[in-house]
Chain A
Amino acid sequence: MEQLLITENLEKRYENAGVLGTKREVWALQGVSFSIGPRSTLALVGESGSGKSTLAFCIACLERPTSGRIVFDGNEITALNEKQLRDMRPQIQLVFQDPARSLNPRFSALEIVCEPLLVQGRFTKQEREKRARALLAQVGIPQETALRRPYEFSGGQRQRLAIARALALEPKLLILDEALSALDCSVQAQIANLLLELQSLLGLTYLFITHDFAMAAHLADEIAVMECGRIVELSATERVLRAPEQEITRRLIAATPGLSAAKLVQEAV
Chain B
Amino acid sequence: MSRRFAWPNMDGRTGTGLLPPTMTPLLQVQDLHVTYTSSAGRVSLALAGLSFDVHRGETLGVLGESGSGKSTLAVALLRLLPENAEVQKGAVLFEGLDLLQAELRTLERIRGRRIALIFQEPSLALHPTIRIGDQIGDVLAAHESLTEGSLRQKTLQLLAEVSCADPARIADSYPHQVSGGQQQRVLIAQAIACGPSLIVADEPTASLDPTTQQEILSLFRKLRRKFNLSLILITHNPALLAGLADRLLVLYGGRAAESGPTERVLASPQHPYTRALLQSMPRQLNGITRRRQSRLPIIPGEAPNLEVLANGCRFETRCAERMELCSKREPAAESVSEGHTVACFKYGG
The residues of A with any CB-CB pair to B shorter than 8 Å are 41, 47-48, 154-157, 184-190, 192-193, 196-197, 211-215, 217-219, 237-238, 241-242, 251-269
Contacts and interface: CB of A to CB of B under 8 A. Distances in A.
B83 interface: no
Contacts of B212: 47
Contacts of A262: 239, 281, 283, 285-286, 289
10 contacts: A184-B66, A189-B296, A212-B210, A217-B284, A238-B292, A251-B211, A260-B242, A264-B263, A266-B286, A268-B268
Contacts of A193: 295-296, 298
Main secondary structure of the interface of B (DSSP, over half): loop
A187 B209 CA distance: 20
Contacts of A47: 209-212
Given A185-B236, A189-B298, A255-B213, A154 B66 contact: yes
Nearest to A182: B206
Contacts of B2: none
With most chain B CB atoms within 10 A of its CB, the pick from A187, A214, A265 is: A265
B240 to A, nearest CB: 5
Interface string B193-218: 00000000000000001111110000
B296 A264 contact: no
Interface of B: 65-67, 180, 209-214, 236-243, 263, 266-269, 276-290, 292-293, 295-299, 302-303
Contact of A257 (B180, B210, B278, B293): B210
Given A242-B287, A257-B239, 20 more contacts: A47-B211, A154-B67, A187-B65, A188-B281, A189-B282, A196-B295, A211-B209, A217-B285, A218-B293, A241-B285, A251-B211, A252-B210, A253-B285, A257-B214, A257-B240, A258-B239, A265-B278, A268-B268, A268-B269, A269-B279
A158 to B, nearest CB: 11
Contacts of A213: 210, 285
Contact of B280 (A157, A186, A196): A186
A153 B212 CA distance: 31
Q: Which 5 pairs across A and B sit closest by C-beta, in order of nearness?
A: A257-B239, A218-B282, A217-B284, A189-B280, A184-B65
Looking at A187, A190, A262, A263, which has the most chain B CB atoms within 10 Å of its CB? A262
A259 B66 contact: no
Given A189-B297, A214-B282, A265-B279, A241 B287 contact: yes
Nearest to A46: B209
A236 B144 CA distance: 58
B19 to A, nearest CB: 27
A255 B214 contact: yes
B238 A261 contact: yes
A154 B285 contact: no
Contacts of A157: 302
A219 B293 CA distance: 5
B215 to A, nearest CB: 9
A209 B302 CA distance: 26
Q: In this complex, which of B211, B213, B284, B290 has the most chain A Cβ atoms within 10 angstroms of its Cβ?
A: B284
Contacts of B302: 154, 156-157
B178 to A, nearest CB: 13
Contacts of B237: 185, 257
Contacts of B296: 189, 192-193, 218
A197 B294 CA distance: 10
B242 A261 contact: yes
A145 to B, nearest CB: 11
Contact of B266 (A41, A211, A241, A261): A261
A190 B329 CA distance: 29
User: Which of B280, B288, B289 has most A Cβ within 10 Å?
Assistant: B280
Nearest to B217: A257
A189 B67 CA distance: 17
B336 to A, nearest CB: 13
Contacts of A257: 210, 213-214, 237, 239-240, 242
